[in-house]
Amino acid sequence: MRPLTAHIDLDALRHNYLQARRCAPQARAMAVLKANAYGHGAAACAAALGDLAPAMAVACLEEGQALRAHGIKCPIVLLEGFFEVSELDEIITGGYWSVLHTPWQVEALLERLAHWPQHRLTVLIKCDSGMHRLGFSPDEIQNICQRLRTHEGIEQTLLMTHFATADVPDNPLLTRQLETINTLRSRLDLPGCFANSPATLSAPASHHDWVRPGVMLYGVNPLERHHPLHDEINQVLQPVMTLESRIIAVRELPAGEPIGYGARHVTRRPTRVGVVACGYGDGYDRHAKEGTPVLVDGQRVALAGRVSMDMLTVDITELPEAGIGSRVTLWGRDASGATLSVSEVARWCDTIAYTLLTGILPRVPRCYHRSDAPKTLIDAGVLP
């Protein structure tokens, strides 16, 4: 088999989830599992968090259906709500909690609820407190909440918002968003669901009744590097995905020889080049720059030359022991315990960890590890 595998440490996922709970002890934490659990495999991650998380959140009904198909029973929040009226019957009867962010969604839902008198629904009414992406303005929300509250088909309304800058310390926009949403929450006397990962970790004033951690569950520190809590959080979170492969060929080149497409890298000294089975056809970012760190047998080496579709090349001149079959860690935790954070790799690609993790393509097999469970969920019969 091609040696590239994304190893998913489900114990680390559970550990990180519990860190979110520890940071916001008064709140309940819905696990955000959208985009296939940020590339980690939503069904497996949901199964691993099943006994911990009182609710899970996905982007849309299709993602929710995939979790239901794998036996997930808890409420599933649809973060973008619904896109078509045809989704409503399943939302109403299937235990979904829909976000409502536009007037037509409110009208359509209330109209459809009339067809299901025996069902009562929880909804999240989204306020645009300053990010200006989705949501009602604070002025619009009062009337809508009044209608929802008095509608007998609505069991519970949560007030929701999303923060644009919670990862940055002392950010004036976060202060403004918090002021707006906390004032509104007190006025409307509704349960609040505001905090993403950075707010869960660093803004207790945002916690209230529910927090919505996403990326931190996967071991990514969401705080900016100059945030005063950044280093502490690094100690607390554990990487969940380790992207691992092997060296499949070695080239011994004299100085002055090009490596790979476009001859971007030209050797400056006699160089040993390791060819690694991993490329942009697997989701590894083609924009990774010269020097992007990679672990070979737990030691840092540098990317040399362009990433191609199925392979990339690293300079292993300093590692005479390394050769065909040597273990390569593109990010995550190496078998020896050495770590390379996906955030660090992302900086070398001028992107963020979110895009690298969600970008790992289906052809990369995910191998799930959990200390008290069979090695893979395929073995356990959870996944087909």
Ligand X SMILES: Cc1ncc(COP(=O)(O)O)c(C=O)c1O
Q: How far apart are CA 384 and CA 379, in angstroms?
A: 9
**Contact letters for ligand X, residues 181-210 (x by CB under 6 A):** ---------------xx-------------
Pick from 284, 292, 335, 170: nearest CA to 326: 335
Q: What CA–CA distance (Å, rounded) separates 10 from 50?
A: 12
Annotated ligand binding at 241? The verdict is no
Give the nearest distance from C-beta 249 to ligand X in angstroms: 38
**Residue 160 burial by Cβ neighbours in a 10 Å radius (0-12, 13-18, 19+):** buried
Asked if residue 215 binds ligand X (CB under 6 A), the reply is yes
- If DSSP codes are grouped into helix, strand and coil, which group holds residue 210? strand
Judge whether 34 counts as a catalytic residue.
yes
User: Is 261 among the catalytic positions?
Assistant: yes
Neighbours of 182 (CB within 10 A): 17
> Minimum distance from CB of 39 to ligand X (Å)?
12
Residue 214 binding ligand X, by CB under 6 A? yes
CA pair distance 324, 335, nearest whole angstrom: 17
Annotated catalytic residue, options 34, 96, 280, 284: 34
Kindly indicate which of the ranges 111-119, 214-222, 286-294, 297-305 contains the residues binding ligand X, using the contact rule CB under 6 A. 214-222
What would the two tokens of residue 217 be?
A: 């569950």
Distance of alpha carbon 181 from alpha carbon 128, whole angstroms: 9
Distance between CA atoms of 74 and 140, rounded to whole angstroms? 31
If one counts every other C-beta atom within 10 angstroms of the C-beta of residue 117, the result is 9
Which one of the spans 169-177, 212-220, 271-279, 311-319 is the region binding ligand X (CB under 6 A)? 212-220
> Which letter does DSSP use for residue 46 in this model?
H
Q: Residue 150, Cβ neighbours under 10 Å: how many?
A: 8
Closest approach, Cβ 155 to ligand X, in A, equals 21
Q: How far is the CB of 373 from ligand X (least distance, A)?
A: 25
Question: Is 56 known as a binding-site position?
Answer: no
In whole angstroms, the minimum distance from the beta carbon of 74 to ligand X comes to 17
Query: Rounded distance, CA 238 to CA 88, Å?
Result: 38
29 makes contact with ligand X (CB under 6 A)? no
Q: Does the protein bind ligand X through residue 36 (CB under 6 A)?
A: no
Q: For ligand X, which is the closer residue by CB, 161 or 292?
A: 161
Report the site for ligand X in 146-165 (rule: CB under 6 A).
Answer: 162
Measured distance CA(64)–CA(75) in Å, rounded = 10
Q: Tell me: does residue 222 bind ligand X (CB under 6 A).
A: yes
Which residue's CB is nearer to ligand X, number 193 or number 253?
A: 193
Annotated binding site: 133, 309
Annotated binding site for substrate: 133, 309
Q: Interface with ligand X by CB under 6 A: which residues? A: 32, 79, 162, 196-197, 212-216, 222
Q: Catalytic residue numbers?
A: 34, 261
